[in-house]
């Protein structure tokens, strides 16, 4: 192979004869360089594409992780809110249980039950053999449903205790309105019920009450709960208090030094309603005590000794 070189400066030319190896070298240079560049460009493009694919994959993975993180945060917030709601619900149930225990202790005291028979200050006694053959899957327990069932049981218990409390209150009210006992703290019977010699005329007369002699100014007591229907000064009785107790019973307390209640007042058994005196037709300090049943006077002595059936 011959290569001719032409010079512009001198206008001459020069030829060079290339051998086989020279031709191979020139061909390699002319063809290898472009091919190498092409190969390098291809490899660079492949690397860039791979980098782009890797970047896109990493972005997708990161996006998925972000979504999972958001979902986890949402689940955690929901779990915290549910836990707070369950905690509040449990606190309310505990408060209701405390009220039930207090009501139970109150009813126990009202019923005058023996110590230890109903002790609401201690947890209930429970027990039983170990049931090892039963396996409880706590993961399937719905706390919300369990709390609702517990609340329903508490509702039922409250209703039952409320009814029991009403019965006890009615019983206590009946006990309070039960006419019995003495109208004085200290005193003695100075004149019984029935026929007697009148201390002023000396003649036989009917005494419709019992006289309890006592210290002037000491308390006159209501023998039962009721409503004061009349107070004032009555001929022969002096200062008098009249109380209605229901079921047709009315009691009167006369010759008082001073009345301590007014008409319409609600009084309870044992309340002071007047002071012992000697007003009206009396020879000394005492309280004249009368009991009326359905408008008719009855012997108060049977009610003085009366006990609740």
Q: Per residue in 62-85, pLDDT tens?
A: 777 777 877 777 888 877 787 777
Q: How many Å is the Cα radius of gyration of the chain?
A: 55
d(CA 19, CA 207) in angstroms, rounded, equals 170
Q: Could you tell me which of 31, 167, 39, 178 has the C-alpha nearest to residue 110?
A: 167
The pLDDT value given to residue 58:
77
Contact criterion met (CB below 8 Å) for 289 and 220: no
Sign of CA dihedral 109, 110, 113, 114: positive
In degrees, to the nearest 5, what angle opens at C-alpha 154 toward C-alphas 153 and 156?
65
Q: Is 211 left (phi over 0), alpha (psi -120 to 50) or beta?
A: beta
pLDDT confidence of residue 145: 73
Domain assignments of the chain as residue spans, ordered by start? 2-76, 188-304
pLDDT at residue number 8: 60
pTM of the model: 0.50
| CA-wise closest residue to 187 among 222, 220, 223, 224 | 220
CA distance 217 to 22: 153
pLDDT given at position 155 = 74
Q: Quickly tell me which residue has 């490899």 as its tokens.
A: 43
- Rounded Cα gap, residues 93 and 119, in angstroms: 20
According to the model, what pLDDT value does residue 72 have?
77
Task: At 102, list the tokens.
Answer: 């207090």
Question: H helices within 177-280, ranges in order?
Answer: none
Task: Using DSSP, state whether 62 is helix, strand or coil.
Answer: helix
Per-residue CA distances from 46 to 7, 37, 51, 269 (Å): 45, 14, 8, 107
One of 2.70.70.10, 3.40.50.300, 1.10.1610.10, 1.10.3720.10 is the CATH number of 188-304, namely 2.70.70.10
Residue ranges, the chain, pLDDT below 50: 136, 138
Phi and psi at residue 216, to the nearest 5°: -60, 135
Which helix (H) or strand (E) segment holds residue 174: the answer is helix 143-176
């Amino acid at each position: 192979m011959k290569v001719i070189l032409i010079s512009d400066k001198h206008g001459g030319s020069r030829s060079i004869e290339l051998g086989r190896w020279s031709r191979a070298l020139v061909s390699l240079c002319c063809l290898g360089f472009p091919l190498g560049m092409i190969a390098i460009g291809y490899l660079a493009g492949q690397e860039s594409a791979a980098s782009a694919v890797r970047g896109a994959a990493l972005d997708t993975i990161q996006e998925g992780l972000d979504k999972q993180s958001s979902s986890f945060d949402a689940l955690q917030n929901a779990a915290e809110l549910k836990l707070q709601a369950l905690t509040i619900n449990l606190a309310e149930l505990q408060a209701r249980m405390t009220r039930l225990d207090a009501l139970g202790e109150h009813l126990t005291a009202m019923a005058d039950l023996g110590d230890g028979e109903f002790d609401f200050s201690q947890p209930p006694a429970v027990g039983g053999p170990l049931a090892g053959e039963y396996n409880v899957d706590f993961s399937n327990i719905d706390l919300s449903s369990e709390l609702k069932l517990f609340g329903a049981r508490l509702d039922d218990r409250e209703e039952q205790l409320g009814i029991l409390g009403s019965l006890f209150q009615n019983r206590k009210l009946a006990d309070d309105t039960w006419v019995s006992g003495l109208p004085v703290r200290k005193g003695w019977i100075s004149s019984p019920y029935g026929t007697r010699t009148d201390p002023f005329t000396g003649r036989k007369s009917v005494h419709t009450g019992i006289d309890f002699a006592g210290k002037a100014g000491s308390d006159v007591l209501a023998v039962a709960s009721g409503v004061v229907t009349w107070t004032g000064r009555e001929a022969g009785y002096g200062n008098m208090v009249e109380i209605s107790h229901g079921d047709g019973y009315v009691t009167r307390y006369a010759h008082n030094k001073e009345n301590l209640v007014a008409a319409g007042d609600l009084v309870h058994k044992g309340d002071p309603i007047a002071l012992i005196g000697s007003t009206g037709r009396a020879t000394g300090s005492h309280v004249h005590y009368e009991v009326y049943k359905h408008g008719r006077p009855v012997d108060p002595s049977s009610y003085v000794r009366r006990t609740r059936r």
